[in-house]
Amino acid sequence: MASNLLKNIVKLDTRVSVSQNVCLPIRCLSTASPRVKDKTGKNIVFVDGVRTPFLLSGTDYASLMPHQLAKEALIGLMRKTNVPREVVEYIVYGTVIQEVKTSNIGREAALAAGFPNSVPAHTVTMACISSNQGITTGIGLIAAGAYDVIVAGGVEFMSDVPIRHSRKMRSLLLRANKAKTPLDKLKLLSTFRPDFLLPELPAVAEFSSGETMGFSADRLAASFKVSREEQDQYAVRSHTMAKEAQDNGYLTDIVPFRLPNSSKVIEKDNGIRVSPIDKLAKLKAAFVKPHGTVTAANSSFLTDGASACLIMTEEKAKQLGLKPKLYLRDFTYVAQDPIDQLLLGPTYATPKVLEKAGLSVNDIDVWEVHEAFAGQILANLKAMDSDWFAQKYMNRKSKVGVPDLSKWNKWGGSLSIGHPFAATGVRLTVHTANRLVREDGQFGLIAACAAGGQGVGMIVERHPDATAL
């Protein structure tokens, strides 16, 4: 069955394309379908979310600082929802590779975006699921009765990452700062060695194993017998669907970004590129050389971008005259072996969050799953389709189940749209919301893997007032 599964997901359906989707009128949600119980007593809603265009690092955003991207996402959110900044009570913002000068980037971005000084903000980091953590932290604050209106989001800026002196050099400089006399300084200088000048570069690698995520993806693909051809086909699928969604105007979460001191306005993602499969097949392995199957084309790329979303109680939304997109129904975080199962977060999170919500795989109308690597996605699908894996590693009697792949990442994903680490969670959520409207669905499932062998699963339900704009 697994081989058929892979054939189905990598096959581009020529009979029905994304471009044939239309924005359907909101259906009367069937009472025969399972309903998810509100556990907070407050019916917490996702009003809307926005993002800057996601750009390849080193391109048009290269001269900026990350808080400038975050600022524009926050301003764009307030403009789109028409909610005064004074109504927002708290901001939770994510980032992974932090700019040292703006360590609490949530606060700095909020001040730059014109939020009142009285609005607190804090920054979270949970690798690729940082803005998911921002959203769910906001859910917790609202459920606890601390606040009614929360902004969450995330930013990543890979064009300019912090590069440190070596530890030996840092130690020398710190001791030199405390040296009292010229003789003390000369003694310190005599301990200097040329290798002190070697810099420490940040890497997308696991601290616990020292292994880059690409190596883990290669090993995972090999373990689940995911071929290079299957990975390349999935990558083509992602870019093709993203291009169709872009061309048809479905990516309404994007707010245009005017570059400072320039007339240039960035209006769309620049990493979406539909290439022939034979062109992808010519690329060399990026990590496990020469025989690995993970390449630059079937991996997500280093991306700059920011996102923001507005969540609140349904009662507050009604008071403000807003039309929310989603009910935020349930969520779970998971963690597993950070070496051999680093990227299997969706497999572990999916059954847990479905069971918490009282739903099954077949109840999900929209799947939005983070695409770190094509091999990672296909390995997760095989793991979800395996009774052996469920019994051996997940303490389950039977497999998770196979998602309906016609409902899977239909607007592309991180492979094509881009993946600014901390910003992706909001992008997944708002795409789920807008797809539920256009595809006339009720429930969506959002899942993602993250560094450290962690993952998230979220269940959302379309709000009766939702629109895809």
The contacts of residue 43 (CB under 8 Å, 6+ apart) are 313, 314, 315, 327
Alpha-carbon distance of 139 to 148, in angstroms, equals 9
Token pair for residue 254?
Answer: 């994007």
Contact 403, 364 (CB under 8 A): yes
Q: Is 28 annotated as catalytic? A: no
Q: Is 309 annotated as catalytic? A: no
Alpha-carbon distance of 330 to 311, in angstroms, equals 14
Helix (H) or strand (E) holding 313: strand 303-313
Please state, as a whole number, how many other Cβ atoms lie within 10 Å of the Cβ of residue 464.
12
Alpha-carbon distance of 96 to 83, in angstroms, equals 28
Active-site choice (23, 28, 128, 309): 128
Alpha-carbon distance of 38 to 459, in angstroms, equals 11
Please state, as a whole number, how many other Cβ atoms lie within 10 Å of the Cβ of residue 443.
24
Alpha-carbon distance of 260 to 64, in angstroms, equals 8
Q: How many CA atoms lie within 13 A of 5 on its CB side?
A: 18
- Which segments of 308-368 does DSSP mark as H helices, in order? 314-319, 345-357
Q: Specify the residue for token string 């399972």.
A: 34
Please state, as a whole number, how many other Cβ atoms lie within 10 Å of the Cβ of residue 436.
24
Is cis: bond before 464, omega within 30 of 0? no
- Residue 45, helix vs strand vs coil: strand
Active-site choice (23, 28, 309, 449): 449
Alpha-carbon distance of 102 to 180, in angstroms, equals 32
Token pair for residue 394?
Answer: 């997940």
Residue 17, sorted as left (phi over 0), alpha (psi -120 to 50) or beta, turns out to be: beta
Query: Catalytic residues, which ones?
Result: 128, 449
